[in-house]
Structure 1
Amino acid sequence: MWIPVKLRVFPALALAWALAGASTAAWSQAAGATTAPVNAAIAFDFVQDRQILFPITVNGRPAEAWLDSGASATVIDTAFARKLGLKLKGRVRARGVADPIGGVRLAHADLDVAHLQLNDRPVAVMDLSAVSRVVQRPVQVILGREVFDEAVVEVDFAQRTIAFQPNRGFRPPPGAPLGLVRSGDLRSFVIAIAGAPVEAVFDLGNAGGLLVDRDFAQGRGLLAGRVSTQLAVGADGARESAVTSLDRVEVAGVVLNGVPTAAVQGLASHAQANVGLAILRRYHLTIDFAGDRMWLRPDADAATQAFRKNRAGLAVTPQQGRYLRVTHVALGSPAQAAGWKVGELIRSIDGQAIDPGYPASALSRWTFGPPGQVVALTLADGSRRLLSLAEYY
């Protein structure tokens, strides 16, 4: 029997892996003792406003963890596992959104998350270097469902804090909760798209807004408007998907318009959709997996906050600490109209040279400028091009 585990990392990675010869119950029973957490908030880093990152320890060693409610188990990078001296066990069959991932192994580790101690937990060990190259920092640990099963998790985006509260003695916040439904090994809840109810996975590991199954989207006519393309990079490599913007997406009573929506062929879940951080960051979250419920308390401006969108049509990856390599040119975008090609190298933006600090700098957000803004891009050969930003999906 196989144990399916789904992981979504950056900016959209779906990983389903299975371990032969064990049941889900056996997997759960393999977990070691848990020490109740202290109900205290710790600060997190909201990396590029796309991932929740905070300190943990693994086998007593400090590490950075990326929080992912859509991962059914914790994942540790191969290089970091080697430094920890983890003993690798059986091989794990894994696949991404579409393609298989090789070299995934089973191991056990002790995790300490803000005094929540998860001892001798089964973890997947795999190469996360492709994700690290995109975010330009080491990705050591993807912290999955275990922490949500063991504690009530509260995420305060306004204060950039996260707290892990004991399940026993938990006092619910004011207001009625939303029900969580078990969707395979994940949790989903009901949203509405154009007035119709849709089951959607609750996914703090999805850096985008909304993911929908492509067949479902086509059947509902969700791709009838302007459709472009985007590149998602994960452990299974790069994958192009269709992207559009949807109006009348209702989440926890708030109607959102202009929601960036990627249509993925064969979405790796039992639900038709997946709600990510571009939406969830508009709410104060209290997540109680054990009680199959959560509270989404919207910010005052939740409905009017503009969604961040790429208005250039270029996807770029830092290279050699001084260039940006074009990895994708979006269909129907200003970049495509201007003749940009994959593989071209950019050395400066509006006269500012690319340097190793680019990924964490304000300069890295140049593609999200307002429509009509003109950006001057200097290529590696010294030639200069002007690119006018525009809405194209």
Structure 2
Amino acid sequence: MQPAKLSALAVMLACSAAMAAPARTVSPTRPTPTDVLAPDAEGRWVPFDLTPGNQIRFTLDVDGVAVTAILDTGVSFSVLSRAFVDARRLKVRSGGTASAVGGSVPIGWIDTKTIRLGGLTRQGGSIGVTALPATATGSARPIEMLVGRDLTEGYALDVDYAARRFRLIASGRMPFTGAIAPLTVSRDRLVYSGEIVLNGRRLRPLIVDTGDGNAVTLSAESWATARLIPPARTTTISFGLGGAIVTDLVVLDEMTTGSLTARNVELQIEPAGGFSQRMGMAGRIGSGFLQRYRVLLDPKAGRMVLQPGPDADAPPVKSTSGVLVAAEKDRLRVLHVMRGSPAERAGWQSGETICMIDGTPIPADYPGSALSGWSIGATGRVVAFDMCDGTRRTLALRPFY
């Protein structure tokens, strides 16, 4: 994650949501929908903000209703939230289950009339339905839709992270220059697929996943193939549609994809038998990495274009506390205590709640407040806590990975 995202870091440092959910379901039963890309599509930018979980959140139109969505190229078929569908009493057909980070989730289908996204209009077709919990975005409010591969793969997806906007344009267009890496759509998993090189070893396929707020994630098998020994290693937690998973976390000096050499890259390592391995994938490239660049994803043309931003190679902001928390109204709940951290050595436990930091109550706008920077504070700083169980404790901050 970038240093500018202190509010998100304080909530879920290095553990933003992983929402890749390649569907293992029957495909929609409706005939192929009709897509029309407007002649002026290049001027139809879609504004977005980044969720605390580091995903692209925006609004689109579904059957005349404004819907809050996440742009998620790691999802095979776009899905609406079960809560959104139930509130409108829409009829849902059964659709089996889909594989997601953290486990499997039930899927249904509904028919749609019109979907409008930037310069794209889709008539007819079907869309998936599943539960979309707020925890999967790191936000207090849930989103209503995941816009997946099925809506975007026929076009070039231009994501301008710096300007917080994206657009769909004709495949083959290249509106800016940058490093080029291979990109396809995996025909067995129906997700965007790329590759990386670590220590001279090519690892593929990796899901190129705008819905995963982490930087890069590898399966345990792929990590073993790379034969890298990092200087330090800790743990973190991620939240997907199927629940939470704990992974190892390292910072890579260097990683290559296509003609791009990236530096100071956060990388998570899944446990053996984890999501990526079950999907037959080497891992995922997420928004935590992509947001350092202006990105063009054009699988039809076989390429991903990455134009570095000013902080593309900047070292990631690291926790000096080892406490990963979520804001809950007037308190913070400890989600995970990172291995080898000051918090672990001091005996902190997941599930504990914090009501005051350095004598200041937890504000309602905690993620955006100055108070939220304590967990990445300067080495040697001692932070005082009033825990919600009435006890008090202190924690001395220091680097540990």
Q: Same fold (TM over 0.5)?
A: yes
Give the one of 264, 267, 279 matched to 1:261.
Answer: 267
Matches within 5 A, 1:20-59: 20=26, 27=28, 30-37=31-38, 38-40=41-43, 41-48=45-52, 50-59=54-63
User: What are the Cα deviations for residues 232-265 of structure 1, in whole angstroms up to 9, with x where unaligned?
Assistant: 1222122222222222212454444442211113
User: What are the Cα deviations for residues 217-245 of structure 1, in whole angstroms up to 9, with x where unaligned?
Assistant: 13433465432221212221222222222
Give the direction of change, closer, same or farther, for the CA distance of 1:146–1:350 in structure 2 (3 Å limit).
farther
1:46 Cα offset (Å): 1.9
Give the direction of change, closer, same or farther, for the CA distance of 1:362–1:72 in structure 2 (3 Å limit).
farther
1:211 Cα offset (Å): 0.2
Does structure 1 residue 326 correspond to structure 2 residue 334? yes
SS in 2 for 1:12: coil
Aligned to 1:204: 210
SS in 1 for 2:167: strand
Q: Contact 1:70 / 1:145 at 8 angstroms: preserved in 2? A: yes
Aligned to 1:3: none
Aligned to 2:252: 246
Q: Contact 1:313 / 1:333 at 8 angstroms: preserved in 2? A: yes
Give the direction of change, closer, same or farther, for the CA distance of 1:203–1:373 in structure 2 (3 Å limit).
farther
Give the direction of change, closer, same or farther, for the CA distance of 1:155–1:49 in structure 2 (3 Å limit).
farther
**Distance across 1 between alignment mates of 2:66 and 2:155:** 21
Aligned to 2:10: none
> Which structure 2 segments of 5+ residues have no match?
1-14
Letter in 2 for 1:368: I
SS in 2 for 1:17: coil
SS in 1 for 2:124: strand
Give the direction of change, closer, same or farther, for the CA distance of 1:188–1:346 in structure 2 (3 Å limit).
same
**Distance across 2 between alignment mates of 1:154 and 1:173:** 9
Letter in 1 for 2:33: G
Superposition misfits of 4+ residues, deviation over 6 angstroms: none
Does structure 1 residue 284 correspond to structure 2 residue 290? no
Aligned to 2:235: 229
Give the direction of change, closer, same or farther, for the CA distance of 1:352–1:73 in structure 2 (3 Å limit).
farther
**Distance across 2 between alignment mates of 1:132 and 1:181:** 26
Aligned to 2:361: 353
The TM-score, its normalising length taken from structure 1, stands at 0.86
Q: Contact 1:73 / 1:124 at 8 angstroms: preserved in 2? A: yes
Q: Contact 1:155 / 1:161 at 8 angstroms: preserved in 2? A: yes
Give the direction of change, closer, same or farther, for the CA distance of 1:345–1:56 in structure 2 (3 Å limit).
same
SS in 2 for 1:215: helix
Give the direction of change, closer, same or farther, for the CA distance of 1:213–1:140 in structure 2 (3 Å limit).
same
Count the aligned residue pairs: 376
Identify which of structures 1 and 2 has the higher relative contact order when contacts are C-alpha pairs closer than 8 Å and 6+ apart.
2
User: What are the Cα deviations for residues 278-311 of structure 1, in whole angstroms up to 9, with x where unaligned?
Assistant: 22112111221222222111124422x1213333
Does structure 1 residue 86 correspond to structure 2 residue 90? yes
User: What are the Cα deviations for residues 140-182 of structure 1, in whole angstroms up to 9, with x where unaligned?
Assistant: 1111112322432111122112122134x83554467432133
**Distance across 2 between alignment mates of 1:232 and 1:322:** 23
Does structure 1 residue 215 correspond to structure 2 residue 216? no
Q: Contact 1:329 / 1:336 at 8 angstroms: preserved in 2? A: yes
Letter in 2 for 1:355: P
The TM-score, its normalising length taken from structure 2, stands at 0.84
1:10 Cα offset (Å): 4.9
**Distance across 2 between alignment mates of 1:120 and 1:370:** 55
Letter in 1 for 2:337: V
1:28 Cα offset (Å): 9.1
> Which structure 1 segments of 5+ residues have no match?
1-8
**Distance across 2 between alignment mates of 1:348 and 1:88:** 45
Aligned to 2:193: 188
Aligned to 2:393: 385
Give the direction of change, closer, same or farther, for the CA distance of 1:17–1:214 in structure 2 (3 Å limit).
same
Q: Contact 1:371 / 1:391 at 8 angstroms: preserved in 2? A: yes
Give the direction of change, closer, same or farther, for the CA distance of 1:341–1:300 in structure 2 (3 Å limit).
closer
**Distance across 1 between alignment mates of 2:23 and 2:31:** 17
